[in-house]
Amino acid sequence: MRIVIAGGHGQIALRLERLLAARGYEVAGIIRKREQGDDLREVGAEPVLCDLESASLEQVAAVLQGAGAAVFAAGAGPGSGVERKDTVDRGAAVLFADAAERAGVRRYIVVSSMGADAKHPGDEVFDAYLRAKGEADEYVKTRLGLDWTILRPGSLTNDAGTGLVRLEAATGRGPVSRDDVAAVLSELIDTPATAGLTLELISGSKPVAVALKDVAGN
């Protein structure tokens, strides 16, 4: 199965690409800068040059053609302002969802954020980020052609993954390693029974596979 990841050079995406490639998947990561390509090749992914802030629906749908799953893991990044929170964290997410639907890619995973809320108040950049993520999540939920799952991790760390997590509709705030987020994402792709769920993720005591089975009702 081919899996396409938006934001392919992100810290979580690179970890996810390595995991998926090791499991034998054909993995493509969408990047904005050609020089990022070697990092993707190093983890076993095919780099695809495409700027989601300027690409057309048809261009993105062409990238997604033939994929079995799509993962939106793009973000404007910590140094960006309010405008790019809208163009990337909301706009690119909406475009990627529309493109997946156009290309017939049903399995669709969103890397969102704890606290994402379209009605989140406040004037700071982080407030705009939470609103943008919330608006994107709400849009994805309206797409009848997508079997979507929205994952909202807690505070991200670069600690080594433990493989032990807490994954529920509401976990409360807490940290989680990027390693463990990637591990959960890789399992979500293969767990279609989580379609239609919005899940929060923090470090916990359950092995990833067990946590997935619990939320999927298996």
Reduce the DSSP state of residue 110 to 3 states and report it: strand
- Out of 25, 108, 129, 139, the active site residue is 129
- Whether residue 48 contacts residue 63, with contact meaning beta carbons closer than 8 Å, is answered with yes
Residue 99 backbone zone (phi > 0: left; psi -120 to 50: alpha; other: beta):
alpha
Return d(Cα 76, Cα 63) in angstroms, integer. 21
- Whether residue 129 contacts residue 173, with contact meaning beta carbons closer than 8 Å, is answered with no
Sheet holding 107-111, edge to edge: 46-49, 26-31, 2-6, 69-72, 107-111, 147-153, 197-203, 164-168, 206-207
- Whether residue 133 contacts residue 89, with contact meaning beta carbons closer than 8 Å, is answered with yes
| Residue 129 annotated in active site | yes
Residue 184 backbone zone (phi > 0: left; psi -120 to 50: alpha; other: beta):
alpha
Residues annotated as catalytic (active site), given as ranges: 129
